[in-house]
Amino acid sequence: MIKQIFGRLPRKPSKSGDNREFAGSSDPSSNTSINSRNNDLISNSATLSGPDFAPNSGYSYGSKIPQVVNPKLNGNLVNGPYEALPGFRDVPGSEKQNLFIKKLNLCCVVFDFTDPTKNLKEKDIKRQTLLELVDYVTSANGKFTETVMLEAIKMVSVNLFRSFTPQPRENKVLEAFDLEEEEPSMDPAWPHLQIVYEFLLRFVASPETDAKLAKRYIDHSFVLKLLDLFDSEDPREREYLKTILHRIYGKFMVHRPFIRKAINNIFFHFIFETEKHNGIAELLEVLGSIINGFALPLKEEHKLFLVRALIPLHKPRCLPMYHQQLSYCITQFVEKDCKLADTVIRGLLKYWPITNSSKEVMFLSELEEVLEATQPAEFQRCMVPLFRQIARCLSSSHFQWEECLMANITVKSEMYSWLSHLLVLTSGMLGTYLENLKDMGDRLRRLSGGIRRYSLHYDGLGVRKIGTFNQVWHFGTEETHSWRCVVAMKYGEEWGGWTSKLVQGTHVAERALYLWNNDHIENLIRQNRKVILPIIFPALEKNGRNHWNQVVQSLTINVRKIFSDVDPELFEECLRQFQEDEAKVEEIKTKQETIWKRLEEIAASKAASSEALLNPHTITTETSLN
């Protein structure tokens, strides 16, 4: 109460700097973007409040408002009335700054949105006040004083900085089976949070915010707390944070090394400890623009960041959630300094997935982008280990299941990943498996936690939402007709309700062969064909002869033709060497079969002689007993 009384007293404005300082990385479209956000806020102002409120509140300024139930101001309960303050148009120009500060203090009250029926009028007053603050910051025509900056950052901190309590979504019981994509978790307080984020964005971007003064309040502690918010499950909040962090990085040059180091630490914690973070994609998106602005030659600090943070980000299992942004950052480094291509390619080879075919396809796509920016000298340094790995990819018989690449695991992808693991069977296994499945019935409705959570590559089901999966399993075991529909949708035509036809997807070998469609990469390979062709020729020859996938066979024949046309002598030499190696393998195999056959004959003869020796002894014993 005392704080509210003091907050209404006029304050002496402090002196501000004379020169304006703009964000170093801001672009001409920034003002347009902010105006667009403002229009969205105004147009959606009715929807931000409850259904009982009109866009313009009918409260008379200065009127008494019922007592607020359990709101907090700086952690303390507020027992007094929550009043709407007059508008900026209703006070003279000399009083606008004091009114601005009062409105900032009024918005320091944080309401509980878990109960949508509580404090409806007070929440709408705060929403209207926040919108007024956004308009004031946008239209300000004088430098913000130090007092204003202090109060503004205090209001932002009180509203935004909070600890997240993630919901145990896997334990939720679904009311109905639904194949639609599950909605991301949304913060119920977003009607207020959105406007606070908009206020902070405009305050940071405003030319009236002097960076030399503001850096005292937008300090390292503030930046760290802002970075912690990137772990929010609400994608709308992460989108605002991404834009605000970019503005802070551009405007406050003194904070740039600290911001990079803090992001580096977040990546370390994610890679080597938790492998759980919701905002990696957004942080990488910010880094993409930061890397794009690095001056040449690159500092050693930036190269270390590439090696120690960005390249190891290929390790976590949730790579699909942020791979596009990561690939962009990696490619930016190679384009800035082509000598880093060898380092990047060897880093990719270090973290190359062994059993995850979907990640292999992503690695191959990123590899193509890196190779496109690679010069011949750097290519020659790493081509031997690189094409040994490509040869292994060419020999792969794995598909990338498209449904399993969804960043947010849904009911649909859980069912598909499970089906793809269980139903891709040989013709001999299929009948036996289906008979067993019929007998299992309802017992399959619940599975052990280990089987559910293990990845597909470790004979598990790769399920992350247990409640959802139980519904899927229940659906699958009890609704035979629906099962058949799902299987038919995934595998094509039915054979009595079941089929083992493989889904159309991207083959690992197919994606590797597409590298030859890139002119720059093909030229690099042609220039170094004497080293590369002997490495990959066995895989090419085997694919061309007996690979089960027609697309892979066709692409392999095209690649073989390229080599045979460019250097027929080398091609014939590799073919001759391959045939010799095959003959040696066949000879060794024949010798092994002969040895095993001889061992079987010896074992059989010994067994026969033992039986012959045993029979007379038995007869003699029986005779003596008689």
DSSP string across 236-276: HHHHHHHHHHHHHHHH-GGGHHHHHHHHHHHHHHIIIII--
Reference 419, options 491, 351, 471, 365; nearest CA is 491
Q: Note the pLDDT tens digit of each residue in 289-334.
A: 999 999 999 999 999 999 999 999 999 999 999 999 999 999 999 9
Mean pLDDT, rounded, of the chain: 74
3-state secondary structure 515-565: HHHCHHHHHHHHHCHHHHHHHHHHHHHHHHHHCCCHHHHHHHHHHHHHHHH
Residues contacting 90, CB < 8 A, separation 6+: 61
Count Cβ atoms within 10 A of the Cβ of residue 289 and give its class: 0-12 exposed, 13-18 middle, 19 or more buried: middle
Residues contacting 187, CB < 8 A, separation 6+: 113, 193, 232, 233, 234, 237
Token pair for 371:
């190779």
Reference 132, options 64, 71, 202, 54; nearest CA is 202
Mean pLDDT of 192-211: 95
Contact 195, 134 (CB under 8 A): yes
What is the pLDDT, as a whole number, of residue 443?
Answer: 38
Token pair for 335:
């384009």
Q: What angle do CA 569, 573, 576 make, to 5 degrees?
A: 140
Contact 285, 242 (CB under 8 A): yes
Q: Please count the other Cβ atoms lying within 10 Å of the Cβ belonging to residue 196.
A: 22
Q: Note the pLDDT tens digit of each residue in 76-111.
A: 445 567 777 888 888 888 888 899 999 999 999 998
Long-range pairs, 25-31, Cβ under 8 A, ≥24: 25/246, 25/249, 25/250, 25/289, 25/290, 25/293, 26/205, 26/247, 26/250, 26/251, 30/205
At 397, the pLDDT band (50, 70, 90 cuts) reads: low
Token pair for 141:
């025509």
Token look-up 């309802």 returns: 442
Mean pLDDT of 236-264: 96
Contact 210, 35 (CB under 8 A): no
What is the pLDDT, as a whole number, of residue 180?
Answer: 37
Q: Note the pLDDT tens digit of each residue in 335-394.
A: 999 999 999 999 999 999 988 888 999 999 999 999 999 999 999 999 999 999 999 999
The per-residue DSSP string of 77-142 comes to: E--SB--PPPPGGGS-GGGHHHHHHHHHHHTTEEPP-SSTTSSHHHHHHHHHHHHHHHHHHHH--S
What is the pLDDT, as a whole number, of residue 96?
Answer: 86
Mean pLDDT of 512-521: 94
Report how far residue 136's alpha carbon sits from residue 130's, in angstroms, rounded to the nearest whole number. 10
Mean pLDDT of 574-593: 91
**% the chain with pLDDT above 90:** 48
At 167, the pLDDT band (50, 70, 90 cuts) reads: low
Token pair for 179:
């194949």
What is the pLDDT, as a whole number, of residue 20?
Answer: 34
Report how far residue 393's alpha carbon sits from residue 513's, in angstroms, rounded to the nearest whole number. 9
What are residue 76's DSSP bridge partners?
A: 73
Contact 474, 466 (CB under 8 A): no
Token pair for 351:
């973290």
Token pair for 163:
């600890």
Token pair for 263:
């992001």
**568 has pLDDT over 70:** yes
Please report, for residues 114, 407, 515, 525, 568, the alpha-carbon distance to residue 520 in angstroms, rounded to integers and kept in the order given: 57, 31, 10, 9, 22
Please give the backbone phi and psi of residue 400, each rounded to the nearest 5 degrees, phi first: -95, 115
Choose the weakest-confidence range: 273-277, 328-332, 479-483, 490-494.
Answer: 490-494
Report how far residue 421's alpha carbon sits from residue 83's, in angstroms, rounded to the nearest whole number. 61
Half-sphere exposure of residue 17: CA atoms within 13 angstroms, side-chain side? 12
Q: Is the Cα torsion angle 576, 577, 578, 580 positive or negative in sign?
A: positive
**420 has pLDDT over 70:** no
Q: How far, rounded to the nearest angstrom, does the alpha carbon of residue 176 sit from its chain's CA centroid?
A: 28
Which of helix, strand or coil describes residue 181? coil
Contact 71, 121 (CB under 8 A): no
Count Cβ atoms within 10 A of the Cβ of residue 530 and give its class: 0-12 exposed, 13-18 middle, 19 or more buried: exposed
What is the pLDDT, as a whole number, of residue 605?
Answer: 85
Please report, for residues 8, 436, 601, the alpha-carbon distance to residue 173 in angstroms, rounded to integers and kept in the order given: 50, 29, 63
Mean pLDDT of 216-241: 95
Report how far residue 107's alpha carbon sits from residue 134's, in angstroms, rounded to the nearest whole number. 12
Q: Please count the other Cβ atoms lying within 10 Å of the Cβ belonging to residue 295.
A: 8
**404 has pLDDT over 80:** no
Half-sphere exposure of residue 213: CA atoms within 13 angstroms, side-chain side? 23
What is the pLDDT, as a whole number, of residue 309?
Answer: 95
Q: Note the pLDDT tens digit of each residue in 12-59.
A: 444 333 333 333 343 434 444 444 555 555 444 433 333 333 333 333
What is the pLDDT, as a whole number, of residue 79?
Answer: 52
State the pairing for strand pair 72-73/76-77: antiparallel
Mean pLDDT of 184-191: 84
Please give the backbone phi and psi of residue 507, each rounded to the nearest 5 degrees, phi first: -85, 140
Q: Note the pLDDT tens digit of each residue in 448-488.
A: 444 444 444 444 444 444 444 444 444 444 444 454 445 44
At 178, the pLDDT band (50, 70, 90 cuts) reads: very low
Please give the backbone phi and psi of residue 73, each rounded to the nearest 5 degrees, phi first: -125, 110
Q: Note the pLDDT tens digit of each residue in 133-163.
A: 999 999 988 899 999 999 999 999 999 998 8
